Copies of this chain bind each other. A is one copy, B any other.
Amino acid sequence: MMQDNSRAAQPGAYDFSGLKAIFFNGTLTKSPGSSHTGRLIKISQGIMQKHSIKTEVIRTIDHPDIATGVWPDMREHGWPKDEWPGIFKRVMDADILVLAGPIWLGDNSSQTKKVIERLYACSSILNDQGQYAFYGKVGGCLITGNEDGIKHCAMDVLYSLQHLGCTIPPQADAGWIGEAGPGLSYGDERDDGSREGFDNDFTNRNTTFMTWNLMHLAKILNGQGGIPAHGNQRSKWDGGARFDFVNPEYR
């Protein structure tokens, strides 16, 4: 292993300006209703903003004109309106993509699934190197619920993001849930006036680490011009390149 971690950590040395981040919030609650997930997003967003990263949060339930389906533009498939194509342009322009959302019955919300479907609908687009268009981006996940399911939801989200072509940094998920059973949700006011979950060291630490790891990896990949373009180009594979792959039949 060639790794050498001896470089001194100099906070001032970290310049993330120029990076862009998009957060999708899959809450089922329309504005101006309060989103528990939105409270957690703000922590991560706040750290990014402090480092001059341009951030955007898209709360999809407030955008009823995002069509449902698996094509880039559903207007070509019988839907009268589709706000997705405009949103997707901003996704393509971002370096950091965070899918955030609530837990319902232990799983991601229908809004989170809808966003994954629309991202997936665009997964055949290639960049100018012939790689999938999400190559070079980094992905993370934030989940809130009142009792169970952060990891289950995050497994699905992070799997989807890497499948699309995002890089997943270390510990790229964070969340909050309470003890088994019904109870307060993230940020709800307790009897003593304090807020549920806001003092949870694990949630705070994981959210912070996730955010920094997203920033570090996005910076690194940007500095590299994305993921090096060899061995992973769909256009070249389809054209016959095999990149040292040997069919086991012919060994």
Closest residue of chain B to A102 (Cβ to Cβ) is B70
B208 engages A181 (CB within 8 Å): no
Query: In the bound complex, what is the Cα–Cα distance between A228 and B131 (angstroms)?
Result: 26
* Oligomer: number of copies: 4
* Residue with the highest number of chain B CB atoms closer than 10 Å, among A2, A19, A187, A230: A2
A228 CB to closest chain B CB (Å) equals: 5
Counting contact residues on chain A (CB < 8 A from B), the size range is 35 or more
Query: In the bound complex, what is the Cα–Cα distance between A134 and B3 (angstroms)?
Result: 11
Contact for A167 among B150, B168, B237, CB less than 8 A: B168
Query: In the bound complex, what is the Cα–Cα distance between A201 and B230 (angstroms)?
Result: 18
B159 engages A165 (CB within 8 Å): no
Query: In the bound complex, what is the Cα–Cα distance between A14 and B229 (angstroms)?
Result: 11
Q: Which residues of B contact A168 (CB under 8 A)?
A: 158, 162, 167-168
Instruction: Given A6-B225, A170-B135, verify A1-B95 contact (CB < 8 Å).
Output: yes
A249 engages B195 (CB within 8 Å): yes
Sample of 15 further A-B pairs with CB below 8 A, known A109-B117, A212-B243, A216-B228: A5-B226, A5-B229, A28-B68, A28-B117, A104-B116, A105-B163, A147-B177, A147-B202, A148-B151, A158-B158, A166-B170, A167-B169, A167-B170, A216-B232, A220-B228
B28 engages A2 (CB within 8 Å): no
Interface residues of A (CB under 8 A from B): 1-7, 9-11, 14, 18-20, 28-30, 33, 39, 42-43, 46-47, 50-51, 61, 68-70, 78, 92-95, 104-111, 113-114, 116-117, 120, 127-129, 131-132, 134-136, 147-152, 154-156, 158-160, 162-173, 175-182, 187, 194-195, 197-205, 207-209, 211-213, 215-217, 220-222, 224-234, 237, 242-249, 251
B232 engages A69 (CB within 8 Å): no
B105 engages A248 (CB within 8 Å): no
Query: In the bound complex, what is the Cα–Cα distance between A65 and B132 (angstroms)?
Result: 36
Query: In the bound complex, what is the Cα–Cα distance between A159 and B151 (angstroms)?
Result: 8
A213 engages B227 (CB within 8 Å): yes
Query: In the bound complex, what is the Cα–Cα distance between A223 and B8 (angstroms)?
Result: 15
Q: Which residues of B contact A203 (CB under 8 A)?
A: 180-181
